Amino acid sequence: MELSLTGTSAPLTAEACAAADGADPLARFRDEFILPEGVIYLDGNSLGARPASAAGVAARVLEQEWGEGLIRSWNSAGWFELPGRLGDKLAGLLGAGPGQVVVTDTTSLNLFKALAAAVELQRSADPARTIILTERDNFPTDIYIAEGIAGFLGQGYSVRLIDDSLPLEAALGGDVAVVALSHVNYRTGAMWDMAATTAAIHDAGALAVWDLAHSAGAVPVDLAGSDADFAVGCTYKYLNGGPGSPAFLWANPRHHAAARQPLSGWWGHAKPFAMEDSFAPAEGIGKFLCGTQPILSLAVAECGLDIALAASSELVREKSLVLTDLFITLVEARQGSHPLELITPRDHARRGSHVSYVHPEGYSVMQALIARGVIGDYREPGVLRFGVTPLYVGRLDVFNAVEALFDILDNRLWDTEEFRTRLQVT
Ligand SMILES: *Cc1c(COP(=O)(O)O)cnc(C)c1O
C-alpha cells in the first residue's frame, strides 16, 4: 500500500510516518503545547490543547494585573480593549479586516446576536421574510438559538430545516430572511463552499450567517472574499483558547451602521462610562459587546491565537488533509469486515479537519480508545470523531491511533461493562 506523505510515495509504516514527521515544517509547533506523556490527542476540534505560554499569562493576569493592579488594570493592562484587540488578531485568520471582529461571550450568544441583527435588517427591508433557515444536521445549539429567536419574535417567524429531502436550493424561497449554516459540520466534517453558497443565499434575497466553530484555525476562511454577512465561532477548539474561552463575532462592515442587536448591554454602548439613561450603540463592531468580559479567559485565549498566527495557514491546511487522508487510507487497509462507515467526504474541497466513522458500538469503542490514551470523541448517533490539529498532531500519531483502533476492534476490547457506561460529557 502506497500513499504520498511528503509529496513522494512512501509505504504506510510507522517508520515512514516518523520520517515524514521529521521533515514536517510545522513539527516545531508541537513544542508550543503541553500534552501529557502517552496521549495521542485527536480531540482538538472539541477542546484544543494547552499552549505552553498559557501558564505564564494566567499567572501574570492573576498576580500582577489583578493582584497588584486591581481595578486600575482595566486601563493600565488593557483589559477593556481585549475583545477588540484579540478580534483584530483573529481577523487575519478569517479573511476579515481590523475593526470587524470581537472576541466575546459564547458562540451560542454570538449566534443569537448575529441572527437577531440579520433578521432585523431583513425585517425593515422586506417584512414578508420570516423564515430562519438552518440545517437539521447542524450543531444543536444553532438550531435551538434560531428557534429561540423565532419564538421570541412571534409574528409568523419560524425555523425551516434543510436536509436530504429539502436541500438548500429548494428551501430558499422568497420568505427566507436569514440562512445560518455551519461551515464545517461538527459530526461529519463536511464543508460548505462558503463563497458559492453565500452567493446563492444572496441571490435568493437572504442574508448569510456562518458558524465557523470547526473552521477557525483549521481550514481557510475568507469572509470578505465570500461576501458573507455575519460569522461566529469558537476559540476553544482549533484555536486552543482554553476551556470555555470566549467566542468571536464578525459582521461585514456594510452592516455596521444599520445592524442592531438586542443584547444592548453597557459594553456595547457608544459611551459606556457616560452612564447615560438610554442605550446608544457603539459605532462599528463594538455594538456587539454586551457586558463585562471574562478577562482571565480572554487573556489566555491570546496564547493560542498567537501560535495560530505564527504558523502558515496554507501549511496547516495541507497537513490537515495529509493527516485525514492518512487516517482514511490506514482504516481502509485494515477495515476487513468491521462495520465502520466513513461519513466524512473524501473530496478535499468538502472536508474539514476531522474524520468520522459510524460504528454500532461507537460509544464503547471510543471509551476503549480513550482508556489507552487515544483521545477522540463520540457524537450521537454512533459517531467516532477524530480531529487533527496540524500544529500538534503528526503522521505517527495517526498511525498509532489507527493501530489502537484495530487492536480494539479485532479483539473486541470495547465489549466490557466499563466501556458501555455513559459519562455525562461524551
Ligand atoms: C462547538 C460548537 C458550538 C458551541 O457553542 P457554545 O456556545 O460555545 O457552547 C456552536 N456551534 C457549533 C457549530 C459548534 O461546533
- What are 158-211's pLDDT values in tens digits? 999 999 999 999 999 999 999 999 999 999 999 999 999 999 999 999 999 999
* CB hemisphere CA count around 335 (13 angstroms): 14
Q: Ligand 1 pocket check: which of 141, 142, 236, 290 to mutate, most ligand atoms within 8 Å of Cβ?
A: 141
The pLDDT value recorded for residue 423 is 86
Which residue, by CA, sits nearest to atom 14 of ligand 1?
Answer: 213
Which residue, by CA, sits nearest to atom 2 of ligand 1?
Answer: 213
Which runs of consecutive H residues, i.e. helices, occur in 258-361? 295-310, 313-334
CA 343 to centroid of ligand 1, rounded, Å: 20
What is the share, in percent, of the chain residues with pLDDT greater than 70? Answer: 97
Atom of ligand 1 nearest to the CA of 186: 15
Q: State the pLDDT confidence band at 241, using cuts at 50, 70 and 90.
A: very high
The DSSP string of 91-111 is HHHHT--TTSEEE-S-HHHHH
Query: From the CB of 187, is ligand 1 less than 6 Å away?
Result: no
Q: Ligand 1 pocket check: which of 134, 186, 187, 237 to mutate, most ligand atoms within 8 Å of Cβ?
A: 186
- The residues carrying an active-site annotation are 139, 211, 236-237, 385
The H-or-E segment that residue 34 falls in is strand 33-34
Peptide bond into 381 cis (omega under 30): yes
Contact between residue 230 and residue 212 where contact means Cβ atoms under 8 Å apart: no
Does the pLDDT at position 7 exceed 80?
A: no
Q: State the pLDDT confidence band at 68, using cuts at 50, 70 and 90.
A: very high
Q: What is the mean pLDDT of residues 79-96?
A: 98
pLDDT single digits (tens) 218-227? 999 999 999 9
The pLDDT value recorded for residue 11 is 63
Is pTM, for the whole model, over 0.95?
A: yes
**What's the mean per-residue pLDDT of the chain?**
96
The pLDDT value recorded for residue 10 is 53
Does the pLDDT at position 3 exceed 60?
A: no
**Nearest-5° Cα angle at 134, 351 to 254:** 90
| CA distances (Å), origin 313, targets 32, 88, 349 | 16, 17, 16
The pLDDT value recorded for residue 2 is 40
Which residue, by CA, sits nearest to atom 1 of ligand 1?
Answer: 213
Does the pLDDT at position 9 exceed 90?
A: no
CA 15 to centroid of ligand 1, rounded, Å: 38
CA 184 to centroid of ligand 1, rounded, Å: 12
Does the pLDDT at position 18 exceed 90?
A: yes
Q: State the pLDDT confidence band at 6, using cuts at 50, 70 and 90.
A: very low
The pLDDT value recorded for residue 425 is 86
Does the pLDDT at position 237 exceed 80?
A: yes
Q: State the pLDDT confidence band at 58, using cuts at 50, 70 and 90.
A: very high
Q: What is the mean pLDDT of residues 293-307?
A: 98
Atom of ligand 1 nearest to the CA of 234: 8
pLDDT single digits (tens) 395-419? 999 999 999 999 999 999 999 999 9
> How many of the other CB atoms lie within 10 Å of CB of 417?
7
Query: From the CB of 214, is ligand 1 less than 6 Å away?
Result: yes
Does the pLDDT at position 251 exceed 60?
A: yes
